[in-house]
Amino acid sequence: MSQSPNPRTFTDRLRSLFKGILDPIGGFLNRTGLTPNAITLLGLAGTTIGAWFISQGKMTSGGIILLASVMVDALDGTMARLRGESSDFGAFVDSVSDRYAEFITFGGLLYYFISQADYPGVVVTFAATAGSVMVSYVKARAEGLGFEAKVGMLTRVERYIVLIPLLVFNQPFIASLVIAILGNITALQRVFHVRVQGHARMKEARENKEFAQ
Among 58-62, 80-84, 170-174, 175-179, whose mean pLDDT is lowest? Answer: 80-84
> What's the CATH class of domain 10-212?
mainly alpha
Q: Among 22-26, 76-80, 85-89, 185-189, name the most confident range.
A: 185-189
Element (H, E) at 11: helix 10-17
DSSP 4: P
Burial of 57 (0-12, 13-18, 19+ CB in 10 A): middle
Helix, strand counts (H, E) of the chain? 9, 0
Give the per-residue pLDDT at 8.
Answer: 62
Higher pLDDT, 119 or 155: 119
Q: Is the pLDDT of residue 203 over 80?
A: yes
CA distance 35 to 80: 8
Average pLDDT, the chain: 89
CA distance 198 to 206: 12
Contact criterion met (CB below 8 Å) for 109 and 125: yes
Percentage with pLDDT > 90 across the chain = 61
Output the pTM of the full model: 0.86
User: pLDDT tens across 94-107, in order?
Assistant: 889 999 999 999 99
pLDDT class of 118 with cuts at 50, 70, 90: very high
How far is C-alpha 68 from the chain's CA centre? 16
Contact criterion met (CB below 8 Å) for 22 and 79: no
CA distance 100 to 148: 23
Give the per-residue pLDDT at 6.
Answer: 57
Percentage with pLDDT > 70 across the chain = 90
Q: What angle do CA 103, 104, 105 make, to 5 degrees?
A: 95
Question: Can you give the residue ranges of every domain in the chain?
Answer: 10-212
Give the per-residue pLDDT at 166.
Answer: 97
How far is C-alpha 94 from the chain's CA centre? 10
Contact criterion met (CB below 8 Å) for 164 and 151: no
The mean pLDDT of 49-77, rounded to a whole number, is 93
Give the per-residue pLDDT at 69.
Answer: 93
User: Could you tell me where the beta strands, DSSP code E, fall in 83-164?
Assistant: none
Give the per-residue pLDDT at 119.
Answer: 96
Q: Per residue in 75-111, is it b (16+ CB within 10 Å) or e — as a string?
A: bbbbbbbbeeeeeeebeebbeebbeebbbbbbbbbbb
Give the per-residue pLDDT at 2.
Answer: 44
CA distance 19 to 11: 12
Q: Is the pLDDT of residue 159 over 90?
A: yes
pLDDT class of 177 with cuts at 50, 70, 90: very high
Give the per-residue pLDDT at 7.
Answer: 60
End-to-end CA distance of the chain: 19
Higher pLDDT, 137 or 35: 137
Give the per-residue pLDDT at 1.
Answer: 43
The mean pLDDT of 7-26, rounded to a whole number, is 72
